[in-house]
């Protein structure tokens, strides 16, 4: 009997680290050797979900069976879970393979064309689908929990990459020089040095911003300017995660980001853009309702003889019976909670060391930047002096006019906004 082997793993990590495919192939080859089958070819789907039926290697296998035109060929796979991860896909692929003369066999399962055998096969396929759906829910729940803690879990935005942290796992970290270009563009737009989105687009093009495609478009500029992630904020409304502080390094301040939104839309984009550090209610916006998990608001309530401070939940859909909480009660709970979660001294020392290192690097970058500006100004001064000497030496009006225009242009280039744009 002739045979082919089919192997599949569902993640890129398994492909990179070599876990799964080699083990599956060895088990299938050992099975073929025991049965006395001649293995013609091995088909491997690398990093492909078992919920898909249109997999590259599986489609290639079906085409291969069609091309060789043998009456019977054994298709060996390690386990039903490697074959398919849902009931419909399992029997759809089985029908497609059997129409090309395939006989399905596995070291882990015996296929029997009997009512009992079909029932067992259906149960195993159902279990594979159940495990896949359960794993999907568990993965989504873990991703949701991690995002609620301020960690980004999806593909990194432009200017960032994933790195491995010894304690916190996968973290987002800026990529240079892309991150610095984004920072410079956003701050320039917020301060009015870059007046329009078109100015930002030209700035990015001049800086050779590494965007996918031939050039930078205005839509891409707007996407950068409205991306709260660059201000250190996690915002994912699809999972009801709205503007929470991220655990990644911000490229610009929240104040800078809000200035950009006000310039673009006439209003700040962040939900907590209004002053939240009110001296009477210091934890307003930080404390959440235990029922609906919406931020508490606060106010003074007028009593018979005096005013009393309260935090309250204003969510009309919230089922909490007691909406108001006395200021001193909630703030005491908040203070006690902070004491319980105080970081260890090692973490504090590490944070101080990292912060100091970042500050020193920033100061070095600032010094280098200022040195570059001074060099540029010195160069322009020399060129202005040289042009002025030529102006004095010539008597031709046309030449004098041209030299005067050049001096005006050089003086304009000495302006801070122009030098910022060039450097």
From first to last of the 423 residues of the chain, give the pLDDT tens digit: 899 999 888 776 655 554 578 888 889 999 999 999 999 999 988 877 666 667 888 889 989 999 988 889 999 988 887 787 777 878 888 888 888 888 998 888 888 778 887 788 788 777 777 777 777 777 788 888 888 888 888 888 888 988 887 777 788 889 888 889 999 999 989 888 888 888 888 888 888 887 665 677 888 888 889 888 898 888 888 888 888 888 888 899 888 898 888 888 876 555 444 444 467 788 877 788 888 878 888 888 877 788 888 888 877 778 776 678 888 888 888 888 877 777 777 778 888 888 888 888 878 877 777 777 778 777 878 887 887 777 777 777 777 777 777 777 777 665 544 444 444
Residues 139 and 12 in one domain: yes
CA 6: distance to chain centroid?
34
pTM beyond 0.75: the answer is no
Q: Evaluate whether residue 260 is within a structural domain.
A: yes
> DSSP code of 5?
E
Residues 265 and 196 in one domain: yes
Residues 179 and 238 in one domain: yes
Contact 85, 49 (CB under 8 A): yes
Range of the domain at 367: 355-422
Strand (E) or helix (H) holding 164: strand 160-165
Residues 127 and 178 in one domain: no
Pull the structure tokens for residue 3: 């045979």
End of a domain among 250, 274, 298? 274
SS3 6: strand
End of a domain among 225, 258, 274? 274
Residues 298 and 388 in one domain: no
Q: Evaluate whether residue 173 is within a structural domain.
A: yes
Residues 257 and 171 in one domain: yes
Residues 83 and 162 in one domain: no
How many structural domains compose the chain?
Answer: 4
Residues 204 and 139 in one domain: no
Residue in 57, 59, 43 with CA at minimum distance from that of residue 5: 43
Residues 279 and 268 in one domain: no
End of a domain among 100, 126, 145? 145
């Amino acid at each position: 009997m002739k045979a082919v082997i089919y192997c599949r793993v569902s993640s890129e990590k398994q492909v990179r680290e070599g876990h799964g495919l080699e083990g599956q192939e060895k088990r299938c080859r050992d099975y073929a050797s025991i049965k006395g089958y001649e293995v013609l070819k091995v088909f491997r789907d690398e990093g492909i979900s078992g919920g898909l039926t249109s997999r590259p290697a599986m489609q290639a296998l079906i085409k291969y069976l069609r091309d060789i035109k043998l009456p019977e060929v054994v298709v060996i796979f390690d386990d039903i879970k490697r074959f398919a991860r849902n009931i419909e896909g399992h029997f759809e692929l089985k029908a497609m393979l059997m129409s090309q003369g395939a006989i399905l066999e596995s070291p882990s399962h015996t296929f029997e064309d009997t009512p009992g055998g079909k029932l067992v096969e259906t149960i195993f396929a159902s279990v594979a689908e159940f495990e896949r759906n359960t794993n999907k829910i568990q993965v989504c729940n873990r991703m949701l929990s991690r995002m609620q803690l301020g960690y980004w879990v999806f593909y990194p935005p432009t200017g960032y990459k994933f790195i491995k942290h010894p304690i916190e796992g996968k973290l987002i970290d800026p990529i240079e020089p892309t991150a610095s270009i984004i920072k410079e563009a956003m701050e320039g737009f917020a301060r009015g040095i870059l007046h329009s989105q078109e100015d930002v687009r030209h700035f990015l093009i001049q800086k050779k911003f590494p965007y996918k495609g031939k050039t930078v478009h205005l839509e891409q500029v707007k996407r950068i300017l409205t991306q709260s992630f660059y201000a250190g904020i996690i915002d994912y409304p699809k999972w009801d995660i709205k503007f929470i502080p991220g655990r990644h390094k911000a490229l610009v301040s929240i104040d800078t980001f809000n200035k950009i939104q006000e310039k673009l839309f006439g209003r700040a984009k962040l939900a907590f853009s209004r002053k939240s550090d009110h001296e009477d209610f210091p934890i307003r916006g930080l404390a959440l309702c235990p029922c609906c998990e919406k931020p508490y608001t606060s106010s003074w309530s007028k009593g018979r003889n005096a005013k009393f401070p309260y935090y309250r939940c204003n969510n009309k859909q919230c089922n909490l019976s007691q909406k108001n909480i006395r200021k001193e009660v909630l703030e005491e709970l908040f203070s006690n909670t902070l004491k319980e979660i105080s970081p260890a001294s090692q973490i504090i020392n590490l944070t101080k060391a990292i912060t100091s290192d970042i500050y020193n690097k920033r100061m070095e970058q600032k010094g280098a930047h200022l040195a570059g500006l001074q060099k540029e100004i010195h160069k322009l001064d020399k060129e202005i002096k040289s042009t002025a000497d030529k102006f004095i030496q010539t008597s031709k009006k046309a030449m004098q006019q041209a030299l005067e225009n050049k001096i005006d242009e050089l003086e304009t280039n000495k302006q801070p906004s122009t030098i910022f744009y060039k450097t």
